């Protein structure tokens, strides 16, 4: 199960980077708050990695992963 979570995290990272690259080719300008957003994302990633590795049960991790992947799928298909 933890391998699935790791692969999902890698997929989300690659997908986000490719989206940013696509936006940069269109000439988008980053928001002035980008530093705070980046810090929040990194902090959340570190906390989530720790919680997933040491604190959350396999059942809770499975449920959380299904929720995240469901939202990502809905966003991909309909937004």
**What CA–CA distance (Å, rounded) separates 68 from 65?**
5
As given in the structure block, the two tokens for residue 70 are 């469901």
Read off the pLDDT of each residue in 62-69 and give the average, rounded to a whole number. 86
Distance CA 58, CA 74 (A): 24
Quote the mean pLDDT of the chain.
84
pLDDT per residue as tens digits for the range 33-45? 988 998 998 898 8
Q: Is 2:52 a contact under the CB 8 Å cutoff? A: yes
Digit-coded pLDDT (tens) for 43-64 = 988 888 788 778 888 888 888 8
pLDDT value of residue 67: 92
């Amino acid at each position: 199960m933890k391998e699935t979570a790791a692969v999902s995290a890698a997929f989300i990272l690659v997908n986000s980077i490719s989206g940013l690259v696509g936006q940069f080719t269109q000439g988008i300008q980053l928001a002035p708050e980008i530093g705070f957003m980046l810090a929040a994302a990194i902090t959340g990633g570190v906390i989530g990695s720790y919680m997933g590795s040491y604190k959350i049960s396999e059942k809770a991790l499975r449920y959380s992963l299904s929720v995240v992947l469901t939202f990502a799928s809905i966003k991909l298909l309909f937004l």
